[in-house]
């Protein structure tokens, strides 16, 4: 009993001086203004900013965190009979966090302290209770220890971490990529041997810089798609995607950089035309019939410039179906005096505005070639033909102007080359990214900028749609991981149209806001959190925040991450490499941890080159 009383007196540091909501001021005892205390041969660290204290109110142990300290004059002391040093008193400003009850720490305020309540240091067992975020360590992972106490390992509940949206932020070289790899490596080390894990869990990682495509990085049980827009790749390394996913007006408008007012409505009309033809008993015959109509209508145009442009489109569509090169313009001319096309067949010249002129068309090479037309095996190429056909029909009916529509077709033709090197469009809805393994890495290091923005959008849309279509109560989950997320979730990009940017952000904002209902979770890593959509940042559940020195980034985190306290935010610019503030639904309070080392073979390829070793070896 005396020993407990002696310990209490040593651990006591003062008493509550004032209470203002969660903010409490502690008046420190005069004999406790030292850095360390000694008890039974053990050195105990005294309270300081960032540490924890315990306020005893009866049987309730209230836990608070020290956010500041100050010295003030003690007005109760008569200065005449005391030295100037005695007049000064030390005060701690603390913030209430939670309480300990039945040997367990709870976040939140159960009771408010009273003025005069005793305040004391916490003991090691209480410190461990505060930093215990799991009840069952068999269902948890450990990625590091407290930065200021490397003996205190920090465990995170697997459900609360991976069943949530995660944000990993930090400047270049702060350890951001390393933390991402550590989190998922520890998960696979823990659960990959369970059969239901590989069956029910799917992970999709978008890698912009080739950091995670090493053979053993994170896990060796993975599928890697190394994409490139500079060289042709085999079908086995192209991404399978269903035709129905591409045949959407939003995506086709993005591929064609279509404008809102004219080109996007045109693409929708083209899709309607394609749907109409595909429903015919014989789609190919229906298309050929419209081709012939387009030829007839074009040859009756009275504007030679417009007519020749439309004829060139028809020739582009039909000449590629010919094995030998034929001049489909042969026998066709324009008579400027008569303002009509002139056709020569079998030595006979016919003005196309004459009655009965259509009777000679079946003998015209251009017209006959329509019977030889075949659909392309490539969906994009086929759709371009539909666009040309729709444009010709629209121009002939005065519904569209060629100069307004042609740029979208030309852009789609230009995009097709890069698109075909990356995607393998199939009619099989069952084609699956995850056929070979449950962890897929999309390496876009060799892709151009346009494809780097497009690939994550298209793939995420498809896997999200498939996940939504699964029956309610299904056990399958999907974790989408985006490294360098500012590349595709930024408001600041000026390389693209506002429509394209808005659509991309809307898609990922929907996944962030609604994905949890369908067991779809996102992990975002970025060195520029201030560039990312504020909606996305604020919807994340758990945060790993490494060193940030840009004030815009710090302000973004401070304003949109409600789990952080003032002290944690102020530490962001001075965190060491590998150190990070962890906050969110999986922790009861913000903690600063040092991420434990990874073996070199499973670590990402993100280390900074050592110039001296490179230059002087």
119 and 170 fall within a common domain = no
459 and 546 fall within a common domain = yes
Q: Dump pLDDT digits (tens) for 182-216.
A: 999 999 999 988 889 988 999 999 999 999 998 99
Q: Dump pLDDT digits (tens) for 326-341.
A: 566 677 888 777 778 8
526 and 611 fall within a common domain = yes
| 68-77, 322-331, 516-525: which is most confident | 516-525
Q: Where in the sequence is the domain holding 125, given as residue range(s)? A: 2-130
**pLDDT score at 74:** 65
475 and 611 fall within a common domain = yes
Domain count, the chain: 3
Q: Looking at 423, 449, 468, which one is the last position of a domain?
A: 423
For the record, the structure tokens of 400 come out as 């569209």
89 and 166 fall within a common domain = no
Q: Write out the H or E segment, with its range, that includes residue 152.
A: strand 149-157
120 and 207 fall within a common domain = no
Structural domain contains residue 188: yes
**pLDDT score at 1:** 41
**pLDDT score at 460:** 93
Q: Is the pLDDT of residue 3 over 60?
A: no
Helical pair 379-396 and 283-298, crossing angle rounded to 10 deg = 40
Percentage of the chain with pLDDT > 90?
49
Q: Dump pLDDT digits (tens) for 397-419.
A: 988 899 999 999 999 999 998 99
Structural domain contains residue 351: no
**pLDDT score at 318:** 86
d(CA 31, CA 48) in angstroms, rounded, equals: 15
Q: Looking at 423, 449, 464, which one is the last position of a domain?
A: 423
Q: DSSP 3-state assignment of 303? A: coil
Long-range contacts of 484-487 (CB under 8 A, 24+ apart): 484/208, 484/209, 484/525, 484/526, 484/527, 485/524, 485/525, 485/526, 485/532, 486/526, 486/527, 486/528, 486/529, 486/531, 486/532, 487/208, 487/452, 487/453
Give the CATH number for residue 576: 3.40.50.300
604 and 474 fall within a common domain = yes
CA trace torsion 296, 299, 302, 307 (10° rounding): 110
Structural domain contains residue 589: yes
392 and 257 fall within a common domain = yes
Q: Is the dihedral angle over the CA atoms 59, 60, 65, 70 positive or is it negative?
A: negative
Percentage of the chain with pLDDT > 70?
91
384 and 445 fall within a common domain = no
């Amino acid at each position: 009993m005396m020993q407990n009383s002696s310990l209490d007196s040593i651990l006591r540091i003062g008493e509550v001086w004032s209470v203002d909501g969660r903010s409490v001021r502690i008046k420190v005892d005069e004999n406790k203004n030292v850095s360390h205390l000694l008890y039974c041969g053990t050195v105990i660290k005294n309270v300081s900013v960032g540490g924890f204290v315990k306020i005893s109110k009866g049987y309730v142990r209230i836990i608070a965190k020290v956010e500041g300290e100050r010295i003030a004059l003690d007005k109760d002391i008569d200065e005449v009979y005391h030295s100037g040093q005695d007049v000064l008193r030390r005060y701690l400003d603390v913030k209430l966090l939670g309480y300990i009850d039945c040997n367990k720490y709870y976040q939140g305020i159960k009771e408010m302290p009273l003025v005069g309540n005793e305040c004391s240091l916490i003991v090691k067992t209480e410190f461990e209770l505060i930093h215990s975020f799991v009840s069952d360590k068999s269902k948890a992972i450990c990625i590091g220890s407290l930065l200021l106490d490397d003996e205190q390992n920090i465990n995170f509940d697997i459900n609360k971490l991976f069943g949530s949206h995660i944000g990993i932020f930090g400047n270049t070289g702060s350890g951001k990529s390393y933390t991402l790899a550590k989190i998922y490596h520890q998960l696979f080390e823990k659960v990959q041997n369970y059969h239901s894990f590989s069956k029910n869990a799917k992970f999709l990682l978008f890698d912009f810089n080739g950091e995670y495509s090493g053979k053993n990085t994170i896990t060796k049980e993975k599928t890697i798609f190394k994409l490139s827009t500079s060289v042709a790749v085999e079908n086995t390394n192209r991404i399978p995607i269903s035709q129905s996913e591409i045949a959407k007006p939003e995506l086709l408008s993005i591929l064609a950089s279509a404008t809102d007012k004219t080109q996007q409505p045109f693409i929708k009309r083209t899709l309607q035309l394609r749907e109409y033809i595909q429903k015919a008993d014989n789609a190919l015959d229906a298309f050929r019939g419209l081709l012939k109509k387009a030829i007839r209508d074009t040859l009756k145009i009275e504007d030679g410039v417009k007519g020749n442009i439309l004829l060139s489109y028809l020739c582009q569509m039909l000449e590629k179906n010919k094995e030998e090169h034929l001049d489909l313009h042969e026998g066709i001319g324009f008579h400027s005096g008569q303002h009509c096309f002139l056709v020569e067949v079998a030595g006979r010249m016919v003005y196309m505005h004459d009655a009965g002129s259509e009777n000679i068309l079946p003998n015209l090479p251009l017209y006959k070639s329509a019977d030889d037309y075949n659909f392309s095996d490539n969906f994009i190429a086929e759709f371009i033909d539909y666009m040309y056909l729709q444009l010709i029909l629209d121009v002939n009916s005065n519904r569209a102007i060629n100069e307004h529509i042609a740029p979208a077709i030309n852009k789609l033709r230009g995009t097709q080359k890069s698109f075909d090197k990356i995607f393998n469009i199939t009619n099989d809805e069952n084609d699956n990214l995850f056929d070979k393994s449950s962890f897929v890495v999309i390496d876009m290091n060799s892709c151009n900028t346009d494809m780097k923005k497009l690939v994550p959008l298209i793939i995420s849309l498809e896997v999200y749609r498939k996940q939504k279509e699964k029956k309610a109560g299904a056990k399958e989950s999907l974790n989408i991981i985006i490294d360098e997320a500012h590349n595709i979730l930024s408001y600041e990009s000026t390389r693209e149209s506002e429509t394209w940017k808005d659509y991309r952000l809307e898609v990922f904002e929907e996944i962030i806001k609604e994905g949890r209902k369908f067991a779809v979770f996102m992990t975002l890593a970025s060195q520029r959190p201030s560039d990312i959509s504020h909606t996305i940042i604020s919807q994340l559940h758990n945060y790993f925040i490494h060193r940030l020195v840009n004030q815009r980034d710090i302000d973004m985190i401070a304003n949109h991450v409600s789990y952080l306290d003032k002290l944690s935010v102020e530490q962001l610019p001075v965190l060491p490499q590998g150190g990070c503030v962890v906050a969110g639904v999986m922790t009861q309070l913000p903690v600063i941890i040092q991420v434990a080392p990874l073996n070199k073979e499973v670590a990402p390829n993100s280390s900074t080159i050592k110039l001296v070793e490179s230059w002087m070896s």
